[in-house]
């Protein structure tokens, strides 16, 4: 965990000369080693001796990502040279949508992805796309998504969940909400939040799918009343005065899992050494980002470049440092900001995390019968590979495969009885 001093810095002063240097030199130059002086120490650390996982069978790996703040570990692993440390070259590959990420993973256009937890499980089950055995290698980050409502909604006097529920259930008009992919984390956070206040998202409102970079534009033209999306797009909506933050995803589930390093099970089988080398590089990058606010600032300056997120550093940086404003005059230092490491607690592929998504797929009718929750999680979450890599990197590995969390509605999820949990929600869309 970051110290209180790290979580609540006194000032937010982006290093503008560094940002200009990065944008001028470009992502390709950064990857080629032409790094600004401020990033040289990290590059030197990346060249230090590393544990060997065997010669990588594939030495160049394309990793798909969407322009979001939490693409940072994959980008920084490449920019800082952590990949070279393990004998591979990571090529971050910008994608247009989560559907494109899915399709390119399945056809080989990319070999891995910084991807939605729920997308990996959706493909495993054959919902939201073709069925294929998948591998969740490690979690990349926790927290840091948001539920944004439009300024149009604010003008109706609606700024909270209960106020929204009153309007939706009174059927004053049809309210439309956007998520990023049918089995996405964002769909699950949005549905859970709406249901907490009595709204059935699939019956009481209209639900649409919009790629993350298009959310703000769609909100601006009135295509939806609210959305759940990753940063920096919630902050962008505020900056462009088209929306406000009604809730953060960490309010729904404190320290929830978010993006993961994912691939197909076939890739892991064919290229085990390559898989472990990439995991090690990304884990090193996660550890580096969380090491200090200075590193987080440098990360924000890097990923803001056009080749990555393509936005202002000032839009990314405050929330990555835990400094929030909601667009309605409220400011706070968040107790559960986006984190990437936390002594490996973030990165461990907890089986309970994977099973939670299965319970929500069942709750919302995405799957019509109860799966063998634990068996699916054991098949997808590669605890064996992660434990091998983490141990080699001297990253602490938890002893338990399950963890316990309390969500916004007061329910406790610990993974011990997933079927009962899935069926325990009053608001659901299960077939009767």
- CA 303 to chain CA centroid, nearest Å: 15
Q: What is the pLDDT along the chain (432 residues), one digit of tens a residue?
A: 443 333 333 333 333 333 333 333 333 333 334 455 556 656 556 656 677 799 999 999 999 999 999 999 999 999 999 999 999 999 999 999 999 999 999 999 999 999 999 999 999 999 988 999 999 999 999 999 999 999 999 999 999 999 999 999 999 899 999 999 999 999 999 999 999 999 999 999 999 999 999 999 999 999 999 999 999 999 999 999 999 999 999 999 999 999 999 999 999 999 999 999 999 999 999 999 999 999 999 999 999 999 999 999 999 999 999 999 999 999 999 999 999 999 999 999 999 999 999 999 999 999 999 999 999 999 999 999 999 999 999 999 999 999 999 999 999 999 999 999 999 999 999 975
Q: What six digits make up the tokens of 143?
A: 């927290």
pTM of the model: 0.90
For residue 231, which of 334, 138, 159 has the smallest C-alpha distance?
334
Q: Which CATH architecture has domain 4-141+258-333?
A: 3-Layer(aba) Sandwich (3.40)
Q: What six digits make up the tokens of 144?
A: 């840091």
CB 91 within 8 A of CB 60: yes
Domain 145-252 carries which CATH code?
3.40.190.10
Residues, the chain: 432
Cα–Cα separations (whole angstroms), residue 377 to 182, 221, 319, 360, 374: 19, 40, 31, 14, 5
Domain regions of the chain by residue span = 4-141+258-333, 145-252
What's the pLDDT at 128?
Answer: 80
What's the pLDDT at 14?
Answer: 35
Q: Which residues pair with 263 in a beta bridge?
A: 135
- CA 327 to chain CA centroid, nearest Å: 22
């Amino acid at each position: 965990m970051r110290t209180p001093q790290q979580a609540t810095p006194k000032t937010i002063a982006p290093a503008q000369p560094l940002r200009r240097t990065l944008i001028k030199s470009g992502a390709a130059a950064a990857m080629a080693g032409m790094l600004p002086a401020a990033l040289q120490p990290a590059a030197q650390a990346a060249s230090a001796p590393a544990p060997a996982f065997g010669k990588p069978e594939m030495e160049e790996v394309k990793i798909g990502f969407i322009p979001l703040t939490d693409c940072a570990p994959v980008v920084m692993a490449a920019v800082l040279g952590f990949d070279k440390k393990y004998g591979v070259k990571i090529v971050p590959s910008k994608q247009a949508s989560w559907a494109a990420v899915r399709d390119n993973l399945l056809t080989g256009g990319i070999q891995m992805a910084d991807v939605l937890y729920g997308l990996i499980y959706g493909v495993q089950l054959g919902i939201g796309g073709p069925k294929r055995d998948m591998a969740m290698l490690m979690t990349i980050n926790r927290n840091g998504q948001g539920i944004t409502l439009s300024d149009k909604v604010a003008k109706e006097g609606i700024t909270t969940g209960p106020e929204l529920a009153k309007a939706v259930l009174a059927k004053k008009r049809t309210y439309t909400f956007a998520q990023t992919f049918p089995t996405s984390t964002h769909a699950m956070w949005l549905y859970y939040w709406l249901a907490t206040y009595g709204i059935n998202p699939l019956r009481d409102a209209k639900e649409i799918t919009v790629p993350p970079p298009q959310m703000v534009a769609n909100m601006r033209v009135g295509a939806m009343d609210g959305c759940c999306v990753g940063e920096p797009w919630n902050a962008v909506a505020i900056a462009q005065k088209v929306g406000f933050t009604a809730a953060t995803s960490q309010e729904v589930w404190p320290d929830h899992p978010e993006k993961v390093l994912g691939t197909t099970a076939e890739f892991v089988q064919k290229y085990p050494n390559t898989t472990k080398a990439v995991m090690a590089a990304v884990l090193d990058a996660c550890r580096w980002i969380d090491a200090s606010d200075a590193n987080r600032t440098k990360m924000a300056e890097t990923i803001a470049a056009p080749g990555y997120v393509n936005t202002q550093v000032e839009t990314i940086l405050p929330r990555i440092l835990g400094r929030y404003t909601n667009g309605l005059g409220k400011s706070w230092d968040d107790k559960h900001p986006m984190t990437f490491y936390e002594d490996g607690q973030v990165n461990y592929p907890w089986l309970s995390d994977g099973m939670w998504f299965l319970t929500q797929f069942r709750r919302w009718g995405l799957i019509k019968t109860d799966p063998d929750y634990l068996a699916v999680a054991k098949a997808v979450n590669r605890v064996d590979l992660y434990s091998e890599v983490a141990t080699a990197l001297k990253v602490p590995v938890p002893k338990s495969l399950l963890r316990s969390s309390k969500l916004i509605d007061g329910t406790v999820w610990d993974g011990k009885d997933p079927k009962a949990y899935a069926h325990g929600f009053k608001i659901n869309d299960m077939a009767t």
